[in-house]
Amino acid sequence: MHKCGFHKLWQPTVAVTEPLYATEHPALVRALERVRQHARIDATIEPWLGLAFALRDYDLTTTPLPCLAGGTKALRLKRMPSDEDWQAAVRSVEAAAVAGLDRLDRLERLYRDAQRKIMAEYRPGMLPALAALSCHHPVLSPQSVAGALGLTLAGASKLLARATSAKLLVEITRRRSWRIFVAADLAVDFGLVAPKRGRPPKEPPPLPPSRDLAEAFAAFDQEMERIDALLASR
């Protein structure tokens, strides 16, 4: 649900060659070897960002995934990593992939919950637009919402209050001025809100198909496209 310009953060500046014997190894090891070579000559964060692109280049993913950026110290510090070092690197990628799948599952549920909350509103108004905006900017303030959606400061504050009541956003400042709101899922991940204890509640059944539902979904998609175009023009 939250979009990221990750591909703009990393531009390769070092050419890394692959030895002929490397073709005998699995694609994941070859991707990590590329990162290892890069990390040995570049002490910045750039090699770790490059792992997501190396996995894409070896057809392990269809697109660079930010959650798979990273590496292990042994790839940078040791001239010849041991088998245990390679195993640790592979396990770190596995753990990141599992965590990424869990986040994707929660984001998809958050998207469905947002649809239900919008449908439950008697007059959704600008709520779909705010939900679309939060996909791009999960941290919002009345000032930023007013500027992005063309609202007054008072109107933006009321809209944020509605989203908070619907549990689409969480206020993390509790102030009258300079209030800050965060997407509900990120508020828990960053420790700004205590996670709910016990077994997660069972997800409600899907909404029955109807003309109103189709119109609401179409309106949300249109708002997403509008927000995309608005932010791309800046």
For 177-219, how does the pLDDT look when each residue is reduced to its tens digit (9 = 90+)? 688 999 887 877 787 777 777 676 677 776 666 666 677 667 7
Q: Could you list the residue range(s) of the whole structural domain that residue 136 is in? A: 121-232
Whether residue 48 is contained in a domain is answered as yes
Counting the structural domains of the chain, the total is 2
Whether residue 148 is contained in a domain is answered as yes
Q: pTM for this structure?
A: 0.65
Whether residue 170 is contained in a domain is answered as yes
Quick one: 16 and 92 in the same domain?
A: yes
Quick one: 136 and 212 in the same domain?
A: yes
Q: List, in order, residues 6 or more apart from 103 with CB less than 8 Å away.
A: 67, 185
Torsion of CA 28, 33, 38, 44, to 10 degrees: 60
Which whole-number Å values give the CA distances from 44 to 57, 76, 77, 81, in the listed order? 21, 11, 13, 19
Quick one: 138 and 91 in the same domain?
A: no
Residue ranges in the chain whose pLDDT is less than 70: 1-23, 121-124, 175-177, 198, 200-201, 206-213, 216-217, 220, 231, 234
Quick one: 126 and 193 in the same domain?
A: yes
Which of 99, 132, 163 is the endpoint of a domain? 99
CB 222 within 8 Å of CB 127:
no
Whether residue 105 is contained in a domain is answered as no
Quick one: 88 and 140 in the same domain?
A: no
Quick one: 78 and 129 in the same domain?
A: no
Quick one: 95 and 33 in the same domain?
A: yes
Q: Give the angle subtended at the CA of 204 by the CAs of 198 and 208, to the nearest 5°.
A: 175
Quick one: 138 and 194 in the same domain?
A: yes
Whether residue 12 is contained in a domain is answered as yes
Quick one: 94 and 128 in the same domain?
A: no
Whether residue 133 is contained in a domain is answered as yes
Quick one: 131 and 213 in the same domain?
A: yes
Encoded tokens for 52: 């997501």
The pLDDT score that the predictor gives to residue 22 is 60
Quick one: 156 and 190 in the same domain?
A: yes
The pLDDT score that the predictor gives to residue 21 is 59
Whether residue 212 is contained in a domain is answered as yes
Quick one: 21 and 81 in the same domain?
A: yes
Q: What is the CATH number of the domain that holds 218?
A: 1.10.10.10
The pLDDT score that the predictor gives to residue 7 is 54
Whether residue 21 is contained in a domain is answered as yes
